[in-house]
Structure 1
């Protein structure tokens, strides 16, 4: 219990990674059926309602009316950057190159967040933090990168378009995290997530209107199977995943939290074996071990 308390931010980040692993698999499936914008909009609606019910029970209010204007401003900006820009590109990357490779590219979010945090927040990193982040990222790379024997080099064997979308998603996630830390401070993480969600809903509503995609949204609302899938993803994504992300950055640095949450590509391996009956390679086992070591170093 003492260790959990001492490393609350790191443990929250680890739970976030588990939640996002489930959400990634679920949302990839839904996105291929109805499109990324539709899935994003609907999962934010579900997330908003779930958080509202939770905060009604725990805080006595459905909406975060006790937040200051400063908190609202920064968290709304965070929602636009992290949810609208970040998730829009990430979910499109799910469709283009799949969740595992997308999550690998998303591992670039920690160094991006570290640079932004250094410039904006003045955050410092210990040598152990830096070593842990490097080891973790190396482990993730071992899992999802492949060596081209003919050219004797490591490269992605996926469309550049999808990789660019994932990179833009990483930039959006990193920027959204830093903006969240600026706005949240000691404010309730779930209420803060709801403010970000409001910004996301408004942003995607505008995008869907511009792209004339409301027909897809209304069609999805009539599909019980799609609704169940998006509902499940919403519980683990915008509700638990995002909220625990904010808890993580409250109690540890943005860069460390981002690095721990970037182990999703490794965590996707067990469900791939158990659910989809995929065969795991020795390279993937090695990458998993290296990643776990990296996460362990972060706890030092």
Structure 2
């Protein structure tokens, strides 16, 4: 089907918009650790059901120990570190600013690929980094005392958002390494008959690592009581299940699938439209005032991402 990869990429952008808005709502009610723990539990449950339907067994296709280790590391960085910080920043600065900062992820991914894989940083990529940073700066900086620029967001929220973006970029590179290793080591008949299952199988191991990481955090945070009580709130459960489907289950798997059907640059650029798509829902759902300056900043940031991949 022509433009299948592009359509999947756009779907991912809308999927991440939905999960960002629902995650902001749920994280303010449950907290970052509890919400992420629930997301991992439901993502693994959905995966098991899918494997039963497709493979006739509750586990994904076998792979090498090396592939498992790479995917587990990717899950720790991408889910535990990234999603913890992302949900935390949602409770402080909101999902639309959180998603704006996520446009820094390609910068983090490029630097990580340069360090781990020896990939060169092109001049256009460096320029794209500055454009993306300029777009974010336009959105989050305002005029303070004595006509000097000042940060109009809480500093701790900016910190969590920046760490989330960095971790997402690092996790993306590690995921790529793990995905290639997993694809090379999985049974040949599975790779041929159901190639579309590869992202879902790989994501299963990432979610396992995420579950383990958030279990440790819950032990230290002593939040198992809040975790148990959350199942009694039907409204919250609907939000958690929806954010799981659109986030770590379908959203992440489809983002890996998109690059199988179109160029990675095109897919990444289309998926990076979330900071623009999220503006209108944030305005009506959370009654947030959005300025033209913030809209311009979000658009410039996405242009920076486009330059990064398409330059």
Aligned to 1:198: 208
Counterpart secondary structure, 1:108: helix
Asked if the contact 1:140–1:265 (Cα under 8 Å) also holds between the matched residues in 2, the reply is no
Q: 2:179 aligns with which of 156, 159, 184?
A: 184
Matched ranges for 1:74-85 at <5 A: 74-85=70-81
Counterpart secondary structure, 1:19: helix
Aligned-residue offset at 1:118: 2.0
Aligned-residue offset at 1:139: 5.0
* Structure 1 position 232 matched with structure 2 position 242: yes
Aligned-residue offset at 1:134: 6.2
Asked if the contact 1:92–1:162 (Cα under 8 Å) also holds between the matched residues in 2, the reply is yes
Aligned to 1:157: 152
Asked if the contact 1:37–1:208 (Cα under 8 Å) also holds between the matched residues in 2, the reply is yes
Q: 1:283 aligns with which of 261, 274, 293?
A: 293
Aligned-residue offset at 1:238: 0.7
Matched ranges for 1:5-20 at <5 A: 8=5, 12-20=8-16
Alpha-carbon distance between aligned partners in 1 of 2:147 and 2:131, rounded to the nearest angstrom: 23
Q: For structure 2, list consecutive stretches of 5 or more residues without a partner in the other structure.
A: 184-197
Aligned to 1:42: 38
Aligned to 1:242: 252
Aligned-residue offset at 1:12: 4.1
> What's the CA shift string for 1:5-29, capped at 9, x where partnerless?
5xx3x65444322211110110111
CA distance 1:212–1:15, shift in 2 (3 Å): same
Aligned-residue offset at 1:269: 1.2
Superposition RMSD on alpha carbons, in Å? 3.0
> What's the CA shift string for 1:242-298, capped at 9, x where partnerless?
112222455645x87655544322111121345456565433554565567667765
Alpha-carbon distance between aligned partners in 2 of 1:278 and 1:163, rounded to the nearest angstrom: 18
Alpha-carbon distance between aligned partners in 2 of 1:206 and 1:163, rounded to the nearest angstrom: 25
Counterpart secondary structure, 1:107: helix
Matched ranges for 1:66-81 at <5 A: 66-81=62-77
Aligned to 2:166: 171
CA distance 1:175–1:46, shift in 2 (3 Å): same
- Count residues with an aligned counterpart: 294
CA distance 1:81–1:279, shift in 2 (3 Å): closer
> What's the CA shift string for 1:105-164, capped at 9, x where partnerless?
22221111111112222445777777777656655655x334316554554311111111
CA distance 1:107–1:289, shift in 2 (3 Å): closer
Counterpart secondary structure, 1:147: strand
Matched ranges for 1:91-170 at <5 A: 91-123=87-119, 142=138, 144-148=139-143, 150-152=145-147, 154-170=149-165
Asked if the contact 1:136–1:263 (Cα under 8 Å) also holds between the matched residues in 2, the reply is no
Q: What's the TM-score, normalizing by structure 1?
A: 0.84
Asked if the contact 1:113–1:175 (Cα under 8 Å) also holds between the matched residues in 2, the reply is yes
Asked if the contact 2:27–2:35 (Cα under 8 Å) also holds between the matched residues in 1, the reply is yes
CA distance 1:88–1:288, shift in 2 (3 Å): closer
CA distance 1:233–1:32, shift in 2 (3 Å): same
Aligned-residue offset at 1:184: 0.3
Q: For structure 1, list consecutive stretches of 5 or more residues without a partner in the other structure.
A: none
Alpha-carbon distance between aligned partners in 2 of 1:127 and 1:54, rounded to the nearest angstrom: 44
Alpha-carbon distance between aligned partners in 1 of 2:15 and 2:278, rounded to the nearest angstrom: 11
Aligned-residue offset at 1:173: 1.1
Aligned-residue offset at 1:207: 1.1
